[in-house]
């Protein structure tokens, strides 16, 4: 942190605002095209011999801007507006339950992941369906056969893991067959499929959900990162950053 001090009238504001800040902003504006510069505020070049190493700057002067109970340094400098756009577009969603990244899985992405595994890996491409618990194994087989499926990988209560296809990886593996199996699993599994690699179960989802704990999330958008929006505001403080209470 750098502090500029001095008695009143010694030129502190002139140095900071009219010289350093003005030069930083001038250099920043010059990075834009001539067309874009016509829409930006231009600052005169300070009367100095040389200034080196000045980055783009943000300045808050000592005027009394309009402030509300929700005003922060971020809102007054308009940094909050840019940060919420940045987070909505470039941030990585992490599940708060299992602390793992969350992303949309695509059919092509699942196929690429499977084919990246070592040769001779046994692969089961499956999906989960709900079936009546009253059905015995023979009735369950008949129930699935009517839907075009003949193999069951596992059954737990009313949850049945149906096999869309099974194969062993090799150099000449049929990618089109694998792609069709993943598409089938995603379609019948309502956007989710499970891939078993040598008995290791991996979950994939075309939705924005955590495969580990099966939690679903909303797509990131700027309003989620704004405390002035009911979508992004804290449920407890409603975006004010504090809660008023009465001590007993």
CA separation for the pair 29, 38 (Å, rounded): 10
**239 is a domain residue:** no
Q: What is the mean pLDDT of the chain?
A: 83
pLDDT in tens, 59-82: 877 666 667 777 888 887 788 888
85 with 164, same domain: the answer is: no
112 with 185, same domain: the answer is: yes
- The pLDDT value recorded for residue 65 is 64
- The pLDDT value recorded for residue 125 is 92
Tally the domains of the chain: 3
Q: Given the DSSP bridges, would you call strands 209-210 and 215-216 parallel, antiparallel or unpaired?
A: antiparallel
User: Per-residue confidence at 99, pLDDT binned at 50, 70, 90?
Assistant: confident
88 with 146, same domain: the answer is: no
pLDDT in tens, 19-75: 888 888 888 888 888 888 888 777 778 888 888 888 888 787 766 666 777 788 888
Who contacts 32 (Cβ-Cβ below 8 Å, separation ≥6)?
40
Query: Residue 157 sits in a domain of what CATH number?
Result: 3.30.190.20
221 with 195, same domain: the answer is: no
131 with 182, same domain: the answer is: yes
207 with 116, same domain: the answer is: yes
- The pLDDT value recorded for residue 182 is 93
Answer yes or no: is pLDDT of 108 > 90: yes
**238 is a domain residue:** no
CA separation for the pair 21, 15 (Å, rounded): 8
**242 is a domain residue:** no
196 with 111, same domain: the answer is: yes
- The pLDDT value recorded for residue 67 is 72
**246 is a domain residue:** no
39 with 130, same domain: the answer is: no
**112 is a domain residue:** yes
Q: What is the DSSP letter of 15?
A: I
Note down the domain range covering 171.
107-216
Which of residues 129 and 222 earns the better pLDDT score? 222
Average confidence (pLDDT) over 208-223: 82
Question: What's the burial of 148, exposed, middle or buried (CB within 10 Å: 0-12/13-18/19+)?
Answer: exposed
Answer yes or no: is pLDDT of 111 > 90: yes
pLDDT in tens, 143-197: 777 777 777 777 777 778 888 888 999 888 888 999 999 999 998 888 888 899 9
Q: Hey, what are 237's tokens?
A: 């403080």
Smallest Cα–Cα separation from 125: which of 140, 112, 114, 136? 114
- The pLDDT value recorded for residue 152 is 75
- The pLDDT value recorded for residue 45 is 81
């Amino acid at each position: 942190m750098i502090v500029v001090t001095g008695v009143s009238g010694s030129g502190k504001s002139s140095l900071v605002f009219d010289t350093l800040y003005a030069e930083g902003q001038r250099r920043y504006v010059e990075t834009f095209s001539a067309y874009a510069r016509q829409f930006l505020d231009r600052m005169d070049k300070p009367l100095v011999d040389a200034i080196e190493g000045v980055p783009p700057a943000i300045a808050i002067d000592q005027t009394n801007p309009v402030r509300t109970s929700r005003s922060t340094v971020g809102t007054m400098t308009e940094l909050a507006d840019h940060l919420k756009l940045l987070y909505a577009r470039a941030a990585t969603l992490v599940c708060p339950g299992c602390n793992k990244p969350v992303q949309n899985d695509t059919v092509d992405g699942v196929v690429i992941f499977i084919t990246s595994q070592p040769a001779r890996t046994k692969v089961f491409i499956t999906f989960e369906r709900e079936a009546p618990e009253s059905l015995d194994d023979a009735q369950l087989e008949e129930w699935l056969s009517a839907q075009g499926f003949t193999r069951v990988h596992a059954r737990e209560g009313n949850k049945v893991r149906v096999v869309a296809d099974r194969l062993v990886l090799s150099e000449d593996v049929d990618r089109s067959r694998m792609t069709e199996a993943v598409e089938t699993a995603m379609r019948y599994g309502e956007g989710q499929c499970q891939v078993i690699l040598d008995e290791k179960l991996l979950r994939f989802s075309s939705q924005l959900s955590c495969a580990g704990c099966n939690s679903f999330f909303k797509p990131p958008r700027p309003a989620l990162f704004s405390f002035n929006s009911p979508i992004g505001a804290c449920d407890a403080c409603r975006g004010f950053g504090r809660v008023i209470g009465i001590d007993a």
